[in-house]
Amino acid sequence: MLEYRVNIFVDADSCPVKEEIDRVCSSHCITPIYVATINHYSPVQSQENWKIIDDDDQAVDLYILNRVKKGDLVITQDLAFAVLLTARGVYAMTPRGKLISEDDADEILLRRHLRQKNQRSGKRIKGPSPFHEQDRLKFQVRLDEFLSKDEGIY
Among 148, 149, 147, 119, CA closest to 32? 147
In a domain, 56, yes or no: yes
2-44 pLDDT, tens digit per residue, is 456 789 999 998 899 999 999 999 999 999 999 999 887 777 6
Residue 108: phi and psi, rounded to 5, are: -65, -45
In a domain, 82, yes or no: yes
In a domain, 125, yes or no: no
**In contact, 30 and 147? CB cutoff 8 Å:** yes
Greater confidence (4 vs 55) lies with 55
Domain count, the chain: 1
In a domain, 84, yes or no: yes
Q: What is the domain range of residue 77?
A: 8-102+130-149
In a domain, 3, yes or no: no
**List of residues 6+ apart from 99 with CB closer than 8 A:** 91, 92, 93, 142, 146
**List of residues 6+ apart from 40 with CB closer than 8 A:** 12, 13, 14
Residue 33 is classified by DSSP as E
In a domain, 13, yes or no: yes
94-112 pLDDT, tens digit per residue, is 999 999 877 765 565 556 6
In a domain, 114, yes or no: no
In a domain, 124, yes or no: no
